């Protein structure tokens, strides 16, 4: 069953009736073997990622709830990005800076046992095992647009539940204004931790109301399967109206604070990456335009660009969070 809402004309299905992956994961046409120069090298990289994807399929989730999302427009019916592209074109600097590096190197990540500590300004600080988190709320599959800052985008079916479920469980204090997400930084299993490109561990943050928004997802899987290591196993954040780097991977600590967290990319390049990092086609990155994008997997470098949507297409759902703010200053 498809339900049309008035929110930007979005159509969203009941989660249990989302088309199975086997039906929508069609293959791209074979890449041209005779392409030369820089384009040829880029195509070779795509082909390498495609081959790698065929050998990196994790096991199925033990349980996948089929409940309907209660958020109007939470699921956007568009052509879903092929699994092989979503799992081999990744930013995960702990495993390398090239987009293909995480899929090649992240097999070293140890995801079991895993715990997530929740502390700071909450009534009920706790240390949750992964199993505890999985039992906390029924999981849903939601198809979200994801926008990469370099001008690429994807459409991915994520599996998880609203971050608000965990937040309500720990009961933030009245002076808690922000949520800080601290990710794993283990040089023994993450070969690029310690490199000078970032200040480790990788840290991201949201305002409390952003974290409480129903679209913000605590995520354990994608395409009906457990997260691949390179996509942030075993638990990550998904905030679909923000650029991809806001979506912290392999989370080990969640801290509630009254001060705006200093986030990884904001510390590394504050003139380029602000705290909010909302998708805004009217604010250019200093080194490229944000006004258009290409969809990963749609003919690679030759894909036709599409207009970037404000808040990545979720303006009707999240625009009120930023009412009265100057979004050119709060970028």
Structure-model confidence comparison of residues 25 and 185, the more confident one: 185
Structure-model confidence comparison of residues 139 and 4, the more confident one: 139
- Quote the pLDDT of residue 301: 67
| Over residues 326-330, mean pLDDT | 94
- Quote the pLDDT of residue 150: 82
| Homologous superfamily of domain range 38-322 | Oxidoreductase, molybdopterin-binding domain (3.90.420.10)
**Using 50, 70 and 90 to split pLDDT, how confident is the model at 186?**
very high
Pull the structure tokens for residue 164: 């608000």
Q: What is the CA radius of gyration of the chain?
A: 19
Percent of the chain predicted with pLDDT > 90: 68
CB-CB contact of 196 with 164 (8 Å): no
**Using 50, 70 and 90 to split pLDDT, how confident is the model at 286?**
confident
Percent of the chain predicted with pLDDT > 70: 76
Structure-model confidence comparison of residues 174 and 296, the more confident one: 174
Structure-model confidence comparison of residues 147 and 17, the more confident one: 147
**Using 50, 70 and 90 to split pLDDT, how confident is the model at 64?**
very low
- Among 138-142, 163-167, 235-239, name the one with the lowest average pLDDT: 138-142
Which residues, 6 or more positions from 25, have their beta carbon under 8 angstroms from its beta carbon?
A: 80, 82, 83, 223
**What φ, ψ does residue 15 adopt, rounded to 5°?**
-55, -35
**Using 50, 70 and 90 to split pLDDT, how confident is the model at 68?**
very low
* DSSP letter for each residue of 65-129: --PPP-STTSS--SPPPPHHHHTTS---GGG-SSTTHHHHHGGG---SS-EEEEEESBSS-EEEE
Output the average pLDDT for the chain: 82
Give tens-digit pLDDT for 224-243: 889 999 999 999 999 999 99
- Cα–Cα distances in angstroms (integers) from residue 254 to residues 51, 117, 249, 322, in the given order: 36, 6, 12, 23
| Over residues 321-330, mean pLDDT | 95
CB-CB contact of 67 with 16 (8 Å): yes
What are the start-end ranges of the E strands in the chain? 2-4, 11-13, 115-120, 126-129, 140-147, 152-162, 178-183, 203-207, 217-222, 225-226, 236-238, 251-257, 292-295, 306-307
3-state SS assignment for residue 326? coil
- Quote the pLDDT of residue 274: 95
- Quote the pLDDT of residue 71: 53
Does residue 40 carry a pLDDT above 60?
no
- Residues in the chain, how many? 331
Structure-model confidence comparison of residues 244 and 28, the more confident one: 244
Give tens-digit pLDDT for 233-275: 999 999 999 999 999 999 999 999 999 999 999 999 999 999 9
- Cα–Cα distances in angstroms (integers) from residue 143 to residues 44, 215, 313, in the given order: 29, 11, 13
Does residue 298 carry a pLDDT above 70?
yes
Tally of CB atoms within 10 A around 166:
20
- Quote the pLDDT of residue 58: 52
**Using 50, 70 and 90 to split pLDDT, how confident is the model at 300?**
low
């Amino acid at each position: 069953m498809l339900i049309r809402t008035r929110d930007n004309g979005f159509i969203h299905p009941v989660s249990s009736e989302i088309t199975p992956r086997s039906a929508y994961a069609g293959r791209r046409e074979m890449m041209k073997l005779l392409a030369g120069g820089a384009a040829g090298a880029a195509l070779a990289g795509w082909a390498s990622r495609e081959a790698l994807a065929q050998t990196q399929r994790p096991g199925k989730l033990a349980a996948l709830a089929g409940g309907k999302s209660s958020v109007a427009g939470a699921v956007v019916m568009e052509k879903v990005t092929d699994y092989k592209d979503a799992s081999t074109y990744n930013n995960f600097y702990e495993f390398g800076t090239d987009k293909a590096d995480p899929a090649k190197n992240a097999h070293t990540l140890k995801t079991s046992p895993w715990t997530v500590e929740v502390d700071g300004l909450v009534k009920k600080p706790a240390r949750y095992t992964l199993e505890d988190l999985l039992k906390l709320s029924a999981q849903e599959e939601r198809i979200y647009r994801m926008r990469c800052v370099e001008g690429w985008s994807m459409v991915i079916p994520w599996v998880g539940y609203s971050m608000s479920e965990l937040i309500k469980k720990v009961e933030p204090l009245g002076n808690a204004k922000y949520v800080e997400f601290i990710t794993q930084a283990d040089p023994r299993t993450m070969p690029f931790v310690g490199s000078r490109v970032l200040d480790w561990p990788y840290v991201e943050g949201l305002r409390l109301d952003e974290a409480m928004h129903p679209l913000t997802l605590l995520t354990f899987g994608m395409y009906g399967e457990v997260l691949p290591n390179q996509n942030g196993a075993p638990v990550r954040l998904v905030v679909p109206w923000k650029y991809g780097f806001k979506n912290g991977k392999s989370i080990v600590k969640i801290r509630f604070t009254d001060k705006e967290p200093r986030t990884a990319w904001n510390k590394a390049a504050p003139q380029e990456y602000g705290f909010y990092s909302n998708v805004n086609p009217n604010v250019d990155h200093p080194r490229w335009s944000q006004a258009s994008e290409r969809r990963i997997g749609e003919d690679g470098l030759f894909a036709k660009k599409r207009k970037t949507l404000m808040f990545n297409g979720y303006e009707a759902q999240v625009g009120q969070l930023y009412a009265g703010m100057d979004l050119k200053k709060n970028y």
